[in-house]
Chains A and B, each alone.
Chain A
């Protein structure tokens, strides 16, 4: 199965080139140039990972991350930023970001994180399924 990723950045040229490069690595890529558009997309579809720019007009990456995680706690979000400060990094991790990568980033690093995000998502989903099954079995007294 191909990795399904959503890239969110207000830099259209960056979105275009990064998505093309990820597509040549057999990824299923969607793009959003604003936080609003990205939130609509995660409402409508499921993604293995979201690559999200930290600094965007109107709604910044941290605020977007917070909303995304409220809507879908299992969603794996990788933040991209021009300048990663320690404070921002801590804030991002507290809000549930999977990782914070500094721009310009090596594509191999982005690809690796997306793959890792997919694995983590699968583990989370499996864990939840196991918990549900265990809960049913307990309730039935089996």
Chain B
């Protein structure tokens, strides 16, 4: 093999793989609860056949738990579908509120596993930007990954999409020990290529522990 793998394509594939792995894990967890709940219903039925009274409260709790898991799985699959469809149109008018909330939800398992709470402060009105939705999601995912891997005690990250003079920006606050040097190190070739493609710039505010992703 002599061909060089395109770093942007490889980064996109890696992002998609990681999200898929996380989603399938979530679905498996939900299936595990459903599996045990169905098994417990079977246990109760067998006990009832042997003459034991059916506990209506237990049945009610089980039904509630199963419905909750079905709703949870449905939401997970809907998000997976939304991510898959972000490849449909490479360049489109996008509401950053919707995009940020989707990627926050998709990254939740990863961030929570690292002990982080990521919140999205979404304005009441849409924040529109002409962008490539897939690579913007990929970039936000990488910024969150950078955030949860920073040394320090900060465990809460806030993402805020905002309108700006140039159009729009997304602020990430709550970074521990943020330095311009660290942000420069974060900007590897795939990240630089994403910024170039999206026509965006990253800036660090060391004092406020904030990174701003501005649309130019």
Contact = CB atoms under 8 A, between A and B. Distances in A.
Interface of A: 11, 13-14, 16-18, 20-21, 24, 55-58, 60, 80, 82-83, 103-105, 107
A103 B69 contact: no
B43 interface: yes
B39 A21 contact: yes
10 cross-chain pairs, A with B, having the tightest CB-CB distances, nearest first: A82-B28, A104-B35, A103-B32, A17-B36, A82-B25, A104-B32, A58-B115, A13-B33, A57-B112, A14-B33
Contacts, number: 65
Given A17-B36, A82-B32, 16 more contacts: A17-B37, A17-B39, A17-B40, A17-B65, A20-B40, A55-B109, A56-B113, A57-B112, A80-B32, A82-B24, A83-B28, A103-B28, A103-B35, A104-B28, A104-B31, A104-B34
Among A17, A55, A82, A104, chain B packs the most CB atoms within 10 A around the CB of A17
A21 B43 CA distance: 8
B118 to A, nearest CB: 13
B33 A17 contact: yes
Given A11-B32, A13-B65, A57 B37 contact: no
Interface residues of B, number: 26
A134 B178 CA distance: 60
B85 interface: no
Interface of B: 21, 24-26, 28-29, 31-37, 39-40, 43, 47, 62, 65, 68-69, 109, 112-115
Contact of B68 (A13, A58, A60): A13
Contact of A14 (B21, B36, B47, B115): B36
B25 A83 contact: yes
A104 B47 CA distance: 23
Given A14-B29, A14-B33, A104-B35, A57 B113 contact: yes
Contact of B62 (A17, A55, A107): A17
B121 to A, nearest CB: 22
Contact of B43 (A16, A24, A58, A103): A24
Contact of A21 (B36, B65, B69): B36
A104 to B, nearest CB: 3
A107 B29 contact: no
Most interface-central of B36, B37, B109 (chain A CB within 10 A):
B36
A18 B36 contact: yes
A14 B68 CA distance: 12
5 contacts: A14-B32, A55-B25, A58-B114, A83-B21, A105-B32
A124 to B, nearest CB: 30
Contacts of B28: 82-83, 103-104
A84 to B, nearest CB: 10
A20 B43 CA distance: 10
